[in-house]
């Protein structure tokens, strides 16, 4: 059906607050990725899901970051006690069996 | 340690001429390479890919060249069009893993 969707598209939060970012992958895609793009930087890998499990969480910047995926579909990236350096565009992508990833439009997070 | 490098942050080309975007990598285990195009406020979209068993892949105006010995790939766009103006990311993957490593991107501006 539709492509990858992410919500919210924009989020402004105060330093120290928690935020939740949501990703709805393409139906049937088993793999789901989270990336972060800070200003002037490339795409930084955060975490990968195969089904509901995350074999590698080593890309998460700190223990304030966590992610889960339920039902092999929707994923939520949670950032606790946000810091200004967390400000970035958070991108989600999903993939089926081939190599191509399909990206969502991203969530722009601004921590003030 | 940047495993995938795009050393030109920006490139300007006249409409109708060839655009050449370059990408270098350091990990010899990478065996699949992709180019993505990103417009502002949108997620990256897949453009073209190449497996390490090939040295060239062509799709319409877009051709990707791979030089394994030099660990270098390039994307050629001929003829360039104003609508090609975007940020281009190269990405590399080791088919034995699930990870994609992205470069920092090259902003292409095609002048009318």
**Which residues in chain A touch residue B42, judged by CB atoms under 8 angstroms apart?**
105-106
Nearest-CA distance A92 → chain B (Å): 9
- Look at A42 and B102 and tell me if their CB atoms are within 8 Å: yes
pLDDT (mean) for A50-56: 86
Q: Token pair for residue A46?
A: 């955060």
Please write the tens of the pLDDT for every residue from B34-89: 999 999 888 999 999 999 999 999 999 999 999 999 999 999 999 999 999 999 99
Query: Between A75 and B1, where is the model more confident?
Result: A75
The pLDDT of residue B94 is 87
pLDDT given at position A1: 53
Q: Taking all residues of chain A, what is their mean pLDDT, rounded to a whole number? A: 92
pLDDT at A106: 96
pLDDT given for residue B1 in this prediction: 66
DSSP string, chain A: ----EEE-SEEEE-TT--EEEEEE--TT--EEEEEEE-TT--PEEEEEEETTEEEE-TTSSSTTEEEEE-TTS-EEEEESS--GGG-EEEEEEEE-SSS--EE---EEEEE-
The reported pLDDT for the residue numbered B97 is 76
- Hey, is the C-beta of A42 within 8 angstroms of any chain B C-beta? yes
Q: How far is A43 from chain B (nearest CA, A)?
A: 6
What was the pLDDT predicted at B78?
97
pLDDT over 90 (residue B15):
yes
Distance (Å) from the alpha carbon of B32 to chain A's nearest alpha carbon: 8
């Amino acid at each position: 059906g539709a492509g990858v969707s992410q919500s919210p598209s924009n989020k402004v939060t105060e330093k120290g607050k928690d935020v939740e970012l949501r990703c709805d992958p393409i139906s049937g895609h088993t793999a789901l990725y989270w990336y972060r793009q800070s200003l002037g930087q490339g795409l930084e890998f955060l975490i990968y899901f195969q089904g509901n499990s995350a074999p590698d969480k080593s890309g998460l910047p700190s223990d304030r970051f966590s992610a889960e995926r339920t039902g092999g579909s929707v994923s939520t990236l949670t950032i606790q006690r946000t810091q200004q350096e967390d400000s970035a565009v958070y991108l989600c992508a999903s993939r089926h069996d081939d190599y191509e990833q399909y990206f969502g439009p991203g969530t722009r997070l601004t921590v003030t | 340690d940047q495993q995938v490098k795009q050393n030109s942050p920006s490139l300007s080309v006249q409409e109708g001429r060839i655009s050449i975007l370059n990408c270098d990598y350091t990990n010899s285990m990478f065996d699949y390479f992709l180019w993505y195009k990103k417009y502002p406020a949108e997620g990256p979209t897949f453009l073209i890919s190449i497996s390490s068993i090939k040295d060239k892949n062509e799709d319409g105006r877009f051709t990707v060249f791979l030089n394994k010995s030099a660990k270098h790939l390039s994307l050629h766009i001929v003829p360039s069009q104003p609508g090609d103006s975007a940020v281009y990311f190269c990405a590399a993957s080791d088919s034995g893993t699930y990870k994609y490593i992205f470069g920092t991107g090259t902003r292409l501006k095609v002048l009318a």
